[in-house]
Amino acid sequence: MKLNSDKCKLIICGKKDHSIVVKVGDSEIKEEQCVKLLGINIDNKLNFDQHISKIVKKANSKIAVIKRSFRFLSQFKKKLLLNSFVQSQFSFAPLVWMLHSKRATVKINSVHFRMLKILYNDTESLFEQLLAIDNTFTVHETNIQKLMIEI
């Protein structure tokens, strides 16, 4: 079987003083700062900032698209759409990235808060109040619950 160098990626985590290139047969594999592996963006510092930014951006764009059709939907369908298309962004492989940083949790909570404000047409309530109205938990708490169930 021949190596497909276009599909091979090299990432080095830790301190180094120069870029590394690995040669396998006739192919050279150059070091990259960030690689995508099974849908997760992993960078050489293992901080997952790029991955978190990507999923937050996707979730925000989905909120915007769904919001445009709100006038045609019942409350149940609004909630179903938002949960399906927005919350799902944060439920893929959370064990890998969810405990990364407080800043990541804040970014995700801000998307969740925005979603709840739009869903309930409420710009006055606090995040915790909207969570109580929705009878739900933060994305982080939900992911912790899933983790505990798996353990």
pLDDT tens per residue across span 54-73: 999 999 999 998 899 888 88
CB distance 41 to 34 below 8 Å: yes
CB distance 19 to 30 below 8 Å: yes
pTM for this one?
Answer: 0.79
Residues 111, 113: Cα–Cα separation, whole Å: 5
Q: pLDDT digits over 83-118, tens only?
A: 888 888 888 877 777 777 888 889 999 999 999 999
Beta pairing partners, 43? 34
Count CB atoms within 10 A of the CB of residue 53: 13
